[in-house]
Amino acid sequence: MGGEEMKPFRQLISFEEAKRIIMENTQEMERIEEVNIVDAVDRVLAADIYAPFNVPGFKRAAMDGYAVRAEDTFNASLTSPKKLRVIGKIFAGEASRKKIGEGECIQIATGAVLPDGSDAVVIVEDTERQGDMVAIYKPVYPGANVSQPDADIKKGQKVLKRGEVLNPPKIGVLAALGMERVKVYERPKVEIFPTGKEVVEPGKKLEKGKIYDINSYTLASLLKKAGAEARINEIVDDEKEAIERAIEKARNADYAIFSGGSSVGERDILADVIEKKGKLLFHGIAVKPGKPTICGMIGKTLILGMPGYPTSCLTNAYVLLLPSIRKMARLPLELKKEEVTLAKNISSTIGRHQIYTVKVKDGKAYPAFKESGAITSMSMADGYIEIPANVEFLEEGSKVTVTYF
């Protein structure tokens, strides 16, 4: 490899064009799997859910009190209570075999099945127990404090729609229908390949001139949080054959992400491999940081060559990869944004769209960017601002929009 010449970047494309290309080559997930409902939170429902029966399915007490015939309570008052004989007690989960007749009632707990013969519940606060009798101080109408069989869910009702993101309350709906498993869209599968002879896996001994692999772990954590399945592979040598073997390994994945190996120089071979095996979509973006970014397609796998510098790599992952992952996963791109005041002057590079990390305090944005190789440019920041390619200078006191991490 030492005799190979340094390769210049192909023609740089704009940040907006790069984002458009990636999104156009991102297809929504079609693969479906069935999972246990306890594992379905934050997953995307793959089919409409219709109720096969009513929920709760029976008349039940909505309050603690006494199940009565409403007509037996008419004209009851504090000064002239109606007195009924208590013939039993029902707890939640139980059903009484006794039928309430005229002048009778049954003590009942919230959620318990309403006994035959009764049509209302008098809440316990409006009663006074006197041995096997109870005094009713307030009348009730038929249906008072009673939940109907279809009060929660009606048989045949479409309770959840395909494409909905399942949260704990929606998981509760599935449980209410007795569903143990549910069909959801698969998560995008991502293979991460760290590259370069200079990177070392965390936990191993670090020799002089070497650095620990940061990018694989920032990428994997971001991707998992975004709704993807990410796997970190062993470090790949910056050699054509090694890159080809890695791509072959990722042929069933939705994404193959290479970190490093995309700068100008003799190690820049990923673009050549993509051109040989598939289609190179772009090589180099007019963005700062993140200029040496590669994108291509091999089969149905989207290939991304991310910059080696940690800040460049993670920044590009937030602004370019994250929207693609969320689209494929059929999840909304939820970005928290806020307009704040710039606390200090910022100089930018004309011709390159800049992603600039900032820390927000008391409504002001303070520059946090150090250099592309400094991961603390991200870890000490709250988010980033975007500076268009035609802007060279942002003045202190101007309004900027912060996108939070």
- Residuewise pLDDT in 10s, the chain (405 residues): 344 444 555 678 999 999 999 999 999 999 999 999 999 999 999 999 999 999 999 999 999 999 999 999 999 999 999 999 999 999 999 888 999 999 999 999 999 999 999 999 999 999 999 999 999 999 999 999 999 999 999 999 999 999 999 999 999 999 999 999 999 999 999 999 999 888 888 888 888 888 889 999 999 999 999 999 999 999 998 888 999 999 999 999 999 999 875 444 434 789 999 999 999 999 999 998 888 899 999 999 999 999 888 888 999 999 999 999 999 999 999 899 999 999 999 988 888 999 999 999 999 999 987 766 667 778 889 999 999 999 999 999 999 999 999
Residue after which a domain boundary falls, among 90, 122, 147: 147
User: Nearest CA to 62 among 28, 113, 1?
Assistant: 113
What's the predicted TM-score (pTM) here? Answer: 0.83
Whether residues 314 and 370 fall in one domain:
no
Q: Is residue 1 part of a domain?
A: no
222 shares a domain with 317: yes
321 within domain boundaries: yes
Q: State which residues form the domain around 162.
A: 36-55+156-182
> Do 254 and 271 reside in the same domain of the chain?
yes
Please report the pLDDT score of residue 387 as a whole number: 93
The answer on 200 and 71 residing in a single domain is no
Do residue 140 and residue 228 come from a single domain? no
| 118: in domain | yes
Same domain, yes or no: 178 and 299: no
Nearest to 264 by CA among 288, 294, 242: 294
In a domain, 71, yes or no: yes
Number of separate domains in the chain: 4
Gap between the Cα atoms of 335 and 404, Å rounded: 7
Q: Final residue of a domain: which of 276, 298, 328?
A: 328
8 Å CB contact between 274 and 280: yes
**pLDDT at res. 372:** 64
Structure tokens at 55: 């929920």
Does residue 367 lie within any of the structural domains?
yes
Q: CA 323 to CA 304: how far, in whole Å? A: 14
Residues 142 and 167 in one domain: no
Task: Please report, to the nearest 10 degrees, the dihedral formed by the alpha carbons of residues 204, 210, 212, 213 taken in order.
Answer: -110
In a domain? residue 2: no
Token pair of 36, please?
């246990």
Contact 281/270 with Cβ under 8 angstroms?
no
Do 307 and 346 have their domain in common?
A: no
Taking the C-alpha atoms of residue 186 and residue 266, their distance in angstroms, rounded to an integer, is 39
Say if residues 170 and 19 touch (Cβ distance below 8 Å): no
DSSP 134-182: EEE-S---TTTTEE-TTSSB-TT-EEE-TTPBP-HHHHHHHHHTT-SEE
CATH at residue 377: 2.40.340.10
Are 284 and 204 within one domain? yes
Same domain? 265 vs 190 = yes
CA–CA separation, 55 and 155 (whole Å): 8
Q: Is residue 5 part of a domain?
A: no
Same-domain status, 121 and 231:
no
Residues listed for the chain: 405
Residue ending a domain, choose from 128, 147, 166: 147
User: Does 6 fall in a domain?
Assistant: no
CATH no. for residue 129? 2.170.190.11
Q: Are residues 40 and 178 in the same domain?
A: yes
DSSP secondary structure string for all residues of 53-67: S-BS-S-EESSSEEE
Please give the Cα distance from 220 to 125 (Å, whole number): 57
For 90, other C-beta atoms within 10 Å of its C-beta total 21
Residue 9, pLDDT score = 55
Tokens of 58: 């029976």
